[in-house]
Amino acid sequence: MLNGPNLGTLGTREPKLYGTATLADIESAVRERAAELGVILRFAQSNHEGELIDILEAERSRADGCVINPGGLSHTSLALADALRAFSRPVIEVHITNIYAREPDRRVSRTAEAATGVVAGLGADGYVLALEGLTRLLTGVAVRAESG
């Protein structure tokens, strides 16, 4: 699970737009759901495009899939899109806001062109939903919350 530029400031960065959940809160929720699903994950955040690409290259032979929120790089980075294509495993792109309802420059995602699917506009919950969707793609089994 990769997070791009400025996502380390979630919770304090424009909370009316991005909510009050911190990246640590999101990681905790995702790790909890991953444990329920039996999924092992690596969670990383970087403000540097090259570091995200390095992680994708390093994980290509180990990881079964990727959930990524590229942040602003989604709109500009052909290099990251190329790294996602070279990753050659299912990729789910996630955005906290609905990028398609925002400013014109944010409505185009270069990285989404390399993704298997996109979850956008569902807030911090989108990360868990992206994990569930990726798990279903990889296993062919529907995942659902345990009912009590």
Residues involved in catalysis: 18, 95
137 and 116 in contact (C-beta within 8 Å)? yes
- DSSP string of 124-138? THHHHHHHHHHHHHH
Q: What are the CA-CA distances from residue 139 to residues 62, 95, 147 (Å)?
A: 16, 24, 21
Residue closest to 143 by CA, chosen among 67, 27, 37, 34: 37
42 and 116 in contact (C-beta within 8 Å)? no
- Burial class of residue 121 (count of CB atoms within 10 Å of its CB; 0-12, 13-18, 19+): middle
124 and 25 in contact (C-beta within 8 Å)? yes
